[in-house]
A and B are shown apart, each in its own frame.
Chain A
Amino acid sequence: MKIAVIQFPGSNCDQDCLAALRAGLGASAGYVWHKEESLAGYDAVVLPGGFSYGDYLRCGAIARFSPIMKAVIAAAREGMPVLGICNGFQILCEAGLLPGALVRNRDLAFICQPVRLRVETSDTPFTRLTRPGRILRMPVAHGEGAFFADEPVLERLRAEDRIVFRYVDAAGRPVAEANPNGSVDNVAGVCNPERNVVGMMPHPDRAWDELLGSTDGRLLFGSLIETFAVR
């Protein structure tokens, strides 16, 4: 099993993702440049954080039209696991693989801090080693990470158990004080109806070693590896 880490001009968490997968979990992973047109030889995709194409126009708007995204969209529709982290989440929303959009943080500031996440569903390739209600610690680092979807879309996400993570306080409650950026309903991550595509604003790639302050990110990458191990 081999995992592709997509590199766009302006990606800056590509090395973190590759290190998490290789050094952290001993997985086989490699970079795929945005001008590539094929994912041949790869079994899963990680879209890393950063500022693809300078975040011009809107975050993720231009990356979505890059050659490799045609392959990512086709593979996602065929069931390949795809994880978008931060800018990767924004790209997946712009590409229409995930619902909603990420807009400017409520307080306008760029936020870089650890947050608490509550796992809402273990029914994705990236959360199967967790259980609903488990609280994870990892950082967020974004200026435009407020998840927005209108009420009918949100209602559907809730009904279909497609909210994957929520921002919570120490007691595990999704209260306003625990919401770092103004995301609707404290949503920190969602998945597609088929559940193979997951997007999240927090960074599991910055939480896989004690030196980084948390190892909870291992659970998410480890879930992906486990997904293939049991196939």
Chain B
Amino acid sequence: MKVHVIVMPKRSVLDPQGVAVRNAVREAGVSGLQGVRVGKFLELEFETEPDAAGLDEVCRDLLSNPVIEDYVIERSAGRQI
């Protein structure tokens, strides 16, 4: 099964990548854009259902840095990317 993990910079952390992308989108002529934040999307493929506690731990300790990032786990991810 696939598990999707989305890691985003905390709102309190300066995200210069997001600002640069926001400016570029505006320059491309898209109006009304307030902001962009750039994060990471990870797809984890498991043979069997992963242990919830273990998955949460690895998201917290390795896949994200809780000082600067938040994460969301999407189990039994339905969408294909």
Contacts and interface: CB of A to CB of B under 8 A. Distances in A.
Nearest to A100: B67
Interface in B1-43: 9, 12-14, 16-17, 20
Contacts of A149: 67
B62 A148 contact: no
Contacts of A228: none
Nearest to A99: B67
Interface residues of A, number: 21
Nearest to A146: B14
B72 interface: no
B16 A104 contact: yes
A58 B62 CA distance: 9
Interface centre among A93, A101, A105 (most CB of B within 10 A): A101
Given A148-B67, A148-B68, A149-B67, A103 B14 contact: yes
Measured as residues with beta carbon below 8 angstroms from the partner, the interface class of chain B is 10 to 19
A131 B62 CA distance: 38
Contacts of B14: 103, 106, 146, 148, 182
Interface string A161-182: 0000000000000000000001
A104 B17 CA distance: 8
A175 B20 CA distance: 24
27 contacts: A57-B62, A57-B63, A58-B65, A61-B62, A61-B65, A62-B62, A65-B62, A94-B65, A99-B67, A100-B67, A101-B65, A101-B67, A101-B68, A103-B9, A103-B13, A103-B68, A104-B17, A107-B16, A108-B17, A146-B14, A148-B13, A148-B14, A148-B67, A149-B67, A150-B67, A182-B14, A182-B16
